[in-house]
Amino acid sequence: MDRLIEGYREFRRKRWPEERAHFAELAKGQRPEFLVIACSDSRADPATIFSARPGELFVIRNVAAIVPPYEPEESTHHGTSAAIAFAVLQLPLRGILVMGHAQCGGIAAALDDRVAEKIPFLSSWIDLLEPARQRTAHVHDGGARHTEMERHAVRLSLERLMTFPFVAERVRAGSLALHGARFGIAEGQLELLESETGAFQRIE
């Protein structure tokens, strides 16, 4: 906790004086135009990667940046789905970005059952990646398959977003755009999913 307190004190010393007026505006309400669905991994922070100020991004983070399929409200708890619904229905969104990343532990767990054996809740969550796992079954090199599954997991989450009626309605109306990306931790490189080709291309 000492590290967090020191970080807060540094924020108050250095950043708060510069951002005070901005935070005063944010206190009146948030109006982010982009929702980013990202992994909980500490190495792939959307605000850092996109140099975002407070209030610019509405961020949902979970293991492997998974979007679950749309389900009736009474079936179970819906943390990620509730956040998606809030963002789309209450905020002036123009885009949703699903961002996976390299060396994702959630992808590793989906490819190796032993990873999640002693971690409660993880197996059932990672089971949502089964379609992506099947789509990469033809890749026999372990490292290459891991990378390809990171990309396919992003594609799968984008497909699942379109199962949410309020998302699909806005996408078809042209008021909301869906995007996919993958962040390479070691090289700090972002790949963007091209809608025309379905391939991931590096952003230079």
Do the bridges between strand 95-101 and strand 57-62 make them parallel or antiparallel, or are there none, so unpaired?
unpaired
pLDDT of residue 189: 97
Phi/psi at 96 (5° precision): -125, 130
Q: Are residues 21 and 36 in the same domain?
A: no
Domain of 183, CATH number, reads: 3.40.1050.10
Q: Are residues 18 and 36 in the same domain?
A: no
- Looking up tokens 């789309």, which residue turns up? 88
pLDDT of residue 75: 65
Q: Are residues 19 and 43 in the same domain?
A: no
- The pTM of the full predicted model, rounded to 2 decimals, is 0.95
pLDDT tens-digit map of 9-25: 999 999 999 999 999 99
Q: Are residues 95 and 6 in the same domain?
A: no
CA distances to 79, 112, 129, 190, 193 from 42, rounded to whole Å, are 19, 21, 21, 16, 23
Q: Are residues 6 and 99 in the same domain?
A: no
User: Which residues of the chain fall short of a pLDDT of 70?
Assistant: 74-75
- In the chain, % of residues over pLDDT 90: 91
Total structural domains within the chain: 2
Q: For residue 4, what are the domain limits?
A: 1-29
b/e per residue, 158-178, with b = 16+ CB within 10 A? bebbeebeebeebbeeeebeb
Q: Are residues 72 and 20 in the same domain?
A: no
Q: Are residues 154 and 64 in the same domain?
A: yes
Contacts of 93 (CB under 8 A, 6+ apart): 32, 33, 34, 35, 58, 87, 176
Q: Are residues 122 and 21 in the same domain?
A: no
Q: Are residues 25 and 39 in the same domain?
A: no
Q: Are residues 114 and 23 in the same domain?
A: no
b/e per residue, 72-99, with b = 16+ CB within 10 A? eeeeeebebbebbbebbeebebeebbbb
Q: Are residues 67 and 138 in the same domain?
A: yes
Q: Are residues 13 and 79 in the same domain?
A: no
pLDDT tens-digit map of 92-124: 999 999 999 999 999 999 999 899 888 999 999
